[in-house]
A and B are shown apart, each in its own frame.
Chain A
C-alpha cells in the first residue's frame, strides 16, 4: 500500500482549493480561492513553497496550458490532485469530520 502523507492545515486548504477549481486550478486562482474561503491573506511565497512541496511528495501534479501574451510564451501550470493526494486529503478530512461530530452546536454552521 502506498504511503499516506499527513497534510498540514495549509496543505489541506491548497488541495481542497485545487479539487474545487478543477480546470481553473492555476496558482493565482488557488490563492484567491483560499483567501476567499479562509478569509485571510495568503502570501504567494507560502503558496508556491507549498505547491512545490506537495508536488515533490507526489500529491500534486500539473500540466502546461497556454497563457496570455504577457507570459512571453511560458505556459500556465494547471494543477491537479494525484491519487495519493486525494487519499491524503480524504484522510485528513475524515479525521476532522470525526472529531467535529457532535460539536455542531459549538462550532456553529460550517458555511
Chain B
C-alpha cells in the first residue's frame, strides 16, 4: 500500500489549515503517522486519515477565523468564504429547530434521490462485470407473426451461425437446468449451466483455481469435466485449493472438477428449465453431430461483436445468413428471423421503465422539498429585513447581503448533503433487503458515480433554495424599509412564495395521480381471476434423471408412489403434479395441428403452451372442467393418448363446434397424436399481467412422463407443511432431492412483487410531497393572515361577519391552489403516459383516479388554509388592530 495519505484528503486539510505557520509541520506529522499505520493496516489507514483531516480541518476553520473575521474586511476570496461559512453557521445555530427541520428535509429528500439513483446506477448504468461488456450481444430467433421477438435458438441454427457468422466471435450457447449432486456429502439439487462454445473466454476472466474447459473438450464423448462456482467451492469444499482433480457425481455420472469460476463472473442464462435460482456447475454440452442438428429451440446464444463491428452490421449479416438458410431449410425456418440485442438490454431491459419512474418520482419529491425550504428561507429573509437593512445602512453592498443569505443556503444544503449521505448508505442497505428480485441487486453500493451524484444534488439544492432568498434580500433599498416598511419588496416576496407553494401543489398532484394509478393497478392485479385457486397449495420440484429413470415408465411409477404416500398424509386434500405450474418462470410451448383441418403451410401452425400433468392436477388447482371430462386414473401408459385443452384454444380452433373428440398432432421428440377429452378453464400461466391468448394442451403425465416434475399439494386447511412430503419422497428414493419449495400464493406474490414495490414507492413519495405541500400552503396562508391581521381587525370592527372573513381568506388560498392544480393536472396527464407500460386494468388517464387525486389535494389544501383562516376570524378586533 501507499506510504502517502489519500491525496484529496491531504489537499483539503492543507486548504483548511491555510497559511497557518504550523500547517506544514502538522501535515508532515500526519503523514508520518499515516505511514506507520498503513504499514500495519493499509485499509484502515485511509479511513483514519480522512477522519483526522476532517476533524482537524473543521476545528481549525471554526476556531481561527473568529479572530480574523472581525479584524478586517479581507479581500482574499478564501477568507471571505470562511467568514461567510462561520457567519452562516452561527446564524443557523441560533434557530436550531428550524435549521434541524430544514436539514432533515433536505437530507431526507437527497437520500431518497440518491437511493433511487443508486438503483439506476447499479442496475442500469454500471457496466456488466464481464470482459468488454459493451461488445457482448445476445442473438435470438424471432418469429414476428407470433410476437416472439426473443425466442430461444435451436442447436441446428446455433451451429450454423457459429460456422458462418464473421462479425461476431466467441459465439456461445447456454442453457440452465439443475442436477442432483451426490457423493461427498448430502445430496443436493444444484443449478447447472450447460454450454457449447467458448463461454469462459466470452465472459473474460481467470478461474480462481484450476482452469476452464475449452472448445477441445466440448465434443461428443469429450472428458467428463466440470467447472464449479465459487459458492459451491466454499460451501461444499471449504474453499480447498486442492479441489481440482476431485470427483463429483452429477445425476449419477462421475465428473472431474477442473476449475472454480469466480462469483463475479456468474452468468445467469434467461432460458432455463428446472433451474434452482443459483448456478453451481458449468458443464460442456458435448453435442455430437446428431444433437447438433436438432431443430427444437431451447438455447440462449451470446457472443461478442468482432473488433470494429457494429450491432447493426452484425444484425444484417445474421439476417442475410438466415435468409440464405431458409431457402435450404424451409421447414424449420419459414417465418423465423434473427434478432441481435445487447446483452445488457437482455439482463436489465424489464426494469428500465419502473426504475426510471421511481427515479423521476423521487426527483419530484426533491423539487418539492427544495421549493418548501426555499419558501421557509424567503420567509426568514423577510423577517430579517431589519437586520439586513441595518447592515446595508452600515455599508454592506447588495452583493454582500446576497452572499450572506446564499452562504446560509449553502451551509444548509451542505449539512443536508451530509445527512443525506448517512441516510442513503442506510437506505441502500435497507433497499437491498426489501426490493423485489431485481437483476444485479447485489452490485448496489456507494461508488464514485453515486458520490458525484450526491455532490451535484447538493449543489442543485443549494442553488434551488438559495437564489430566491438571496435575490429577495439583495433587492432591499435602505431608505425604503425605514419609510415604507418595505411594502414593495413584500409584495414581490409574497408573489414568489405563492409561486413556490404552487410548484409544490402541482408536483404533489402529479405524484398523487401516479400513485393512484399504480394502487388501482395493483388492486386489479391482485383480484383478477387467474383461472385457478392459489390458496392452500404448496409446490415443490423433483428431478427424475439418471440411469434409474431413463424409462418413462420408471418415472411414472416413482411419481405415482410418491403421490400416493403424500395423499395419505394427514391434512392433505389432494396431491398431484405437473411439468410446471403457473407463474413459475418455466414454460414449454410448441406448434401443433388439428387433424380435422387442412394442414397449414410451414410457419403458420398454431402454437400451444404444453403441460404434462398428473390427472388430479385440475382438482388440486381447482381449475374448472367446462366440457367433456378431466384427465383420469384410467388414462394410463399403453392406452391411447388423451389431451385436455383450455377454453381459448378450443374456441380458436373450433369456433362453432365442440372440441371434444377432435384429434390433434404435436411434435415432442416423437409425433404425438391424441384425442381431446376435456375443455378446461383458461389459466393465466405467466401471472395476472398476461392475458390468455392461445391454446394450452394438458397431457397426462403418466402416459408421457417428463423428467422434471413439480409436485402440487393442496392442504385441507392452510398451506401444507413440506417436511412430510420430503419424507415421503425419501421413502421412494433417498437420492432424490426435493427443491424449489414454493406456495402458489408465494409465486403469485412474486409476479406482483415489482408492481408492489413500485406502488409502495410512489405512494410513499406522494404522501411525502403532499405533506410538504400542505406545510407550504399552511405557511403562506398563516403568514398572509398575520400580515393582514390589522385589516381583518378593521373589517371585524366595522361589523364584517366572521364567516365572511373565513370565506375571504379561503378564496385567497384558492387563488394560490387553483392555478397550481390546473398546471399540475396538465402535467399529470402529460406525464402519466410514461406509466402506460406499468398500469394494469386502468388507462393512464383514468378519470376516476385523476378526479380522486384532485379531490385529495384540494381537501388537504383546504385544511391547510382553514386553520389560519379560522384563527384570524377568532381574533378580537381590538387586539388585531393593535398588532403591528
Q: Is B77 on the interface with A (CB-CB < 8 A)?
A: no
Q: CA of A26 to CA of B26 in the docked complex: distance in angstroms?
A: 11
Q: Is B3 on the interface with A (CB-CB < 8 A)?
A: yes
Contact A70 B56 (CB under 8 A): no
The one of B3, B29, B34 in contact with A76, judged by C-beta atoms closer than 8 angstroms, is B29
- Given A44-B56, A49-B59, A70-B4, decide whether A28 and B28 contact each other with a Cβ distance below 8 A: no
**1/0 contact trace for B35-50 toward A, CB 8 Å?**
1000000000000000
Contact A28 B29 (CB under 8 A): yes
Of all chain B residues, the one with the shortest Cβ separation from A69 is B3
Q: CA of A32 to CA of B58 in the docked complex: distance in angstroms?
A: 22
CB distance from A35 to the nearest CB of B (A): 13
Q: Is A27 on the interface with B (CB-CB < 8 A)?
A: yes
Q: Is A67 on the interface with B (CB-CB < 8 A)?
A: yes
Q: Is B63 on the interface with A (CB-CB < 8 A)?
A: yes
The one of A28, A45, A52, A75 in contact with B56, judged by C-beta atoms closer than 8 angstroms, is A45
**1/0 contact trace for B52-81 toward A, CB 8 Å?**
100110111001000000000000000000
Q: Is B841 on the interface with A (CB-CB < 8 A)?
A: no
Q: Is B724 on the interface with A (CB-CB < 8 A)?
A: no
Contact A28 B32 (CB under 8 A): yes
Q: Is A109 on the interface with B (CB-CB < 8 A)?
A: no
Contact B28 A52 (CB under 8 A): no
Contact A68 B32 (CB under 8 A): yes
Contact B28 A72 (CB under 8 A): yes
- Given A44-B52, A44-B56, A45-B55, decide whether A70 and B25 contact each other with a Cβ distance below 8 A: no
Q: Is A71 on the interface with B (CB-CB < 8 A)?
A: yes
The one of B26, B35, B55, B63 in contact with A68, judged by C-beta atoms closer than 8 angstroms, is B35
Q: CA of A27 to CA of B25 in the docked complex: distance in angstroms?
A: 9
Of all chain B residues, the one with the shortest Cβ separation from A51 is B22
Q: CA of A1 to CA of B33 in the docked complex: distance in angstroms?
A: 41
Q: CA of A53 to CA of B25 in the docked complex: distance in angstroms?
A: 16
- State the majority secondary structure of interface residues on B: helix
Of all chain A residues, the one with the shortest Cβ separation from B60 is A45
Q: Is B292 on the interface with A (CB-CB < 8 A)?
A: no
The one of B26, B31, B52, B63 in contact with A70, judged by C-beta atoms closer than 8 angstroms, is B31
CB distance from A62 to the nearest CB of B (A): 9
Q: Which residues of B contact A51 (CB under 8 A)?
A: 22
Q: Is B24 on the interface with A (CB-CB < 8 A)?
A: yes
Contact B29 A43 (CB under 8 A): no
The one of B28, B59, B60, B63 in contact with A71, judged by C-beta atoms closer than 8 angstroms, is B28
Q: CA of A46 to CA of B62 in the docked complex: distance in angstroms?
A: 13
Q: CA of A70 to CA of B32 in the docked complex: distance in angstroms?
A: 6
**1/0 contact trace for A9-35 toward B, CB 8 Å?**
000000000000000001110000000
Contact B22 A28 (CB under 8 A): no
Contact B59 A74 (CB under 8 A): no
The one of B25, B34, B63 in contact with A74, judged by C-beta atoms closer than 8 angstroms, is B25
Q: Which residues of A contact B52 (CB under 8 A)?
A: 44
CB distance from B20 to the nearest CB of A (A): 8
Of all chain A residues, the one with the shortest Cβ separation from B25 is A77
The one of B24, B27, B33, B60 in contact with A28, judged by C-beta atoms closer than 8 angstroms, is B33
Q: CA of A68 to CA of B35 in the docked complex: distance in angstroms?
A: 10
Q: Which residues of B contact A93 (CB under 8 A)?
A: none
Q: Is B30 on the interface with A (CB-CB < 8 A)?
A: yes
Q: CA of A45 to CA of B62 in the docked complex: distance in angstroms?
A: 11
Contact A44 B63 (CB under 8 A): no
Q: CA of A51 to CA of B22 in the docked complex: distance in angstroms?
A: 10
CB distance from A21 to the nearest CB of B (A): 15
Q: CA of A77 to CA of B29 in the docked complex: distance in angstroms?
A: 9
CB distance from A47 to the nearest CB of B (A): 10
Interface centre among B32, B55, B56, B59 (most CB of A within 10 A): B32
- Given A48-B26, A77-B25, decide whether A43 and B32 contact each other with a Cβ distance below 8 A: no
Q: Which residues of A contact B30 (CB under 8 A)?
A: 44
CB distance from B433 to the nearest CB of A (A): 34
Given contacts A27-B25, A46-B59, A71-B31, 12 further A-B pairs with CB under 8 A are: A26-B29, A27-B26, A28-B29, A28-B33, A44-B56, A45-B60, A49-B59, A68-B32, A68-B35, A70-B31, A71-B28, A71-B32
Q: Show the binding face of A for B, using Cβ within 8 Å.
A: 26-28, 43-46, 48-49, 51-52, 67-68, 70-72, 74-77
Would you list 12 pairs from A and B whose C-beta atoms are within 8 A, ordered by A residue?
A27-B29, A28-B32, A43-B59, A45-B56, A46-B59, A48-B22, A70-B34, A71-B28, A71-B31, A72-B28, A74-B28, A76-B28
